[in-house]
Amino acid sequence: MTSSPLSGLTVIDLASVGPAARTSRWLADFGARVIKVGPPPQQSGVQIVPPFYAYGGHRGMERAQLDLKAAEGRDAFLKLASLADVVIESFRPGVVDRLGIGFHNVRAVKSDIVYCSTTGYGQTGPKSQWAGHDINYLAVGGYLHCSGRGAHGGPALPGATVADSAAGGMHAVMSILAAVVYRQNTGEAQHLDVAVADGVIALMSLYIDEYLATGTVPEPGHNILTGRYACYGLYRCHDDRWVAVGAIEPRFYANLCTALGCEQWLDHQLDDAVQDEIRGAFATAFAGRTMADWVEILAPADTCVSPVATVPELVEDEQYRARDTIITAHRPQDPAFEQVGFPLAGMAHDQAAPVIRDATLTDTDALLAEAGYDAEAIAALIARGVAA
Provide the 3-class DSSP secondary structure of residue 376: helix
Residue 188 is given by DSSP the state -
Specify the 3-state DSSP secondary structure of 334.
strand
* Cα 104-370-10 angle, rounded to 5 deg: 55
Beta carbons within 8 Å of 129's beta carbon, 6+ residues apart: 92, 93
Q: Which string of DSSP letters, residue by residue, matches 124-187?
A: SSTTTT----HHHHHHHTTHHHHSPB-TTSSBPPPSS-HIIIIIIIIHHHHHHHHHHHHHHHH-
75 vs 55: CA distance, rounded Å: 28
Rounded to whole angstroms, the Cα distance separating 114 from 121 reads: 20
Determine whether 133 is an active site residue: yes
Phi, psi angles (nearest 5°) of residue 87: -120, 135
**Radius of gyration, CA atoms only, the chain:** 25
Distance (Å, whole) CA 75 – CA 381: 11
Q: Is there a catalytic annotation at residue 58?
A: no
Other CB atoms closer than 10 Å to residue 240's CB: what's the count?
Answer: 9
Catalytic residue among 85, 164, 193, 198: 164
Active-site option among 97, 104, 133, 374? 133
Give the C-alpha separation, 224 to 232, whole Å. Answer: 7
Ramachandran region, residue 237 (left: φ > 0; alpha: ψ -120 to 50; beta: rest): beta
Residue numbers annotated as active site = 133, 164
